Chain A
Amino acid sequence: MSLAEAISLHVQDGDTVALEGFTHLIPFAAGQEIIRQKKKDLTAIRLTPDLIYDQMIGAGCIAKLIFSWGGNPGVGSLHRLRDALSNSWPRALEIEEHTHAGMTNRYVAGASGLPFSVLRGYDGTDLLSNTENIAQIKSPFGDEVLLAVAALNPDVTIIHAQQADRKNNVMSWGILGSSKEAVFAAKKVIITVEEIVDEFKPHHNSVIFPEKLITALAVSPRGAWPSYASGYYERDNEQYIAWDEVSKERESFNQWLEAEVFSKGEK
């Protein structure tokens, strides 16, 4: 299936989507296809919104963001995210912010088919009184007070991986963040891969996503760029640094959007 078909068929306006991948294997091509197809009113989940959600926010696809760290790593702020929060441009953006441990455990609950996970977290912070979907609970086995975080079950989780085989199983290796949990938590799963191979060769820390977990698979070479795909290409740090300037003003962002997303077809 092409990426355009996968997005068109399986991402609907108003859906809750999770495009996961932690620094590594961020599904940029899929996110930009969502922009190209002008999907809207999405609730978007990611631990680190990163450039991909900054782009989708600036393009007006996202109504609500659920996240735990919203910056451009090692560079600075996400300007489109800030503009949406401060000035509702191009539309109002609602946020729900957590911690990495909280978000990870929300996926774990979703993947496990449970209503919540329990952790020791958010203690003593102002998040406790400002964030929805968390609750302090007393341990049933003692006096300790712990934190319950509600499950996340995205309508669609989208990830990028290195390889698929001829039977549509997927293999990924390197830093996976919370991708595995986001896949198991989702109602539908779209995976883009660098390439299809005849046979998987074992890799350090490799993970297999059996085809039974996958709703749609699309080949998308360099689909994680300017993030990276271990074994294929490195992170394009210059793009992350340049994004600071591109995204700073609405005009330069709109020019980028037109030139790099709307004028170009699926990569």
Chain B
Amino acid sequence: MSSELKWNSTEMMTIAASRILQNEMICFVGIGIPSTAAILAKSMHAPELFLVYESGTVNTNPQKLPLSIGDGELANRALSVVGMPEIFNYWLQPGRIDMGFLGAAQIDKFANINTTIIGSDYKNPKVRLPGAGGAPEISGACKEVVVILKHSPRAFVEKIDFITSLGFGSGPGSRKAAGLIGGGPSAVITDLGVLKPDPESCELTLVQIHPGVTVEEVKENTSWDLKVASSVTVTGEPTQVELEKVRLLVASSRN
């Protein structure tokens, strides 16, 4: 990547994610980059974005970036704070959430994601990851899901070691067969570009690259033979305002 860019790749990924969020959506947010993107979107083009966190904060409007999913900042600035049965059973399960944001340690070409283990033996893994949290049901029930993770051959793999959350399974029809009501992943946003599932095959396809990134670079960082759209667009450069706001938010998480 060119060293002349005025932003780093994490900032680009965060800003690209924030632009996907639309005003008045109900969005289920996790901690880290999804939170930064959501708070940024609320301060820019989507002031009415309705944020729900699994800790029970409903329509919250944080001004600084929470370090954890249940920070006081989220509770104090929420319309209401409810118990977890209400979040998972009444908000998420019936399909009230428009968009869920998820991270992943590994992802495959059908956007199935793994956050549980690295290694082939569940009982004796090479690396133990945190596990499922809210992700399987978020992936299952939201109208659409956006996955955010950095591009690398170790993360974008032919076969993930454990299906923690189902994307499109083994292709068209898998979600329905598994009993999932939500639409599944609509985009995967990385530090290099944006992948979207092919409408026919459900296979992730490169549709957009960030400024300064080449298609080859994305393919090199993907372990499977990545499909590329016939016309790949380039993400609009981050504006000065977006960059300033992202940097302030990241700095605020440890205050």
Binding site for B on A (CB under 8 A): 22-24, 47-48, 67-71, 73-75, 77, 81-82, 85-86, 97-101, 104-105, 108, 119-127, 130, 144-146, 174-181, 204-205, 228, 230, 234-235, 237-238, 240-241
With A100-B134, A126-B116, A234-B72 as contacts: A74 and B253 at CB distance below 8 Å: yes
A125: which of B88, B134, B136, B141 is its contact (CB, 8 Å)? B136
Residues of the B chain whose Cβ atoms lie less than 8 Å from the Cβ of A23: 55, 68-71
A241 to B67, CA, bound (A): 10
B159 interface residue per 8 A CB criterion: no
How does the 8 Å CB contact mask read for B78-104 relative to A, with 1 for contact and 0 for none? 001111110011001100000000000
A178: which of B84, B165, B181 is its contact (CB, 8 Å)? B84
Q: Could you list 6 A-B pairs, sorted by A, with CB under 8 Å?
A: A99-B133, A120-B179, A123-B136, A125-B163, A204-B81, A241-B254
In the complex, the answer to whether A86 meets B133 with C-beta atoms within 8 Å is no
Interface of B is mostly: loop
How does the 8 Å CB contact mask read for B123-134 relative to A, with 1 for contact and 0 for none? 000001111111
In the complex, the answer to whether B131 meets A126 with C-beta atoms within 8 Å is no
Binding site for A on B (CB under 8 A): 31-32, 54-57, 66-72, 74-76, 80-85, 88-89, 92-93, 116, 122, 128-137, 140-141, 162-166, 169, 174-175, 178-181, 253-254
A57 to chain B, nearest CB (A): 12
A87 to chain B, nearest CB (A): 11
A143 to B59, CA, bound (A): 35
In the complex, the answer to whether B75 meets A104 with C-beta atoms within 8 Å is no
A104 to B56, CA, bound (A): 12
Residues of the B chain whose Cβ atoms lie less than 8 Å from the Cβ of A22: 55-56, 69-70, 84
B52 to chain A, nearest CB (A): 13
In the complex, the answer to whether B137 meets A124 with C-beta atoms within 8 Å is no
A124 to B81, CA, bound (A): 31
In the complex, the answer to whether B133 meets A69 with C-beta atoms within 8 Å is yes
With A123-B178, A127-B136 as contacts: A181 and B85 at CB distance below 8 Å: yes
* CB closest residue in chain B, given A177: B84
* CB closest residue in chain B, given A24: B70
In the complex, the answer to whether A100 meets B54 with C-beta atoms within 8 Å is yes
A69 to B130, CA, bound (A): 5
Residues of the A chain whose Cβ atoms lie less than 8 Å from the Cβ of B54: 100
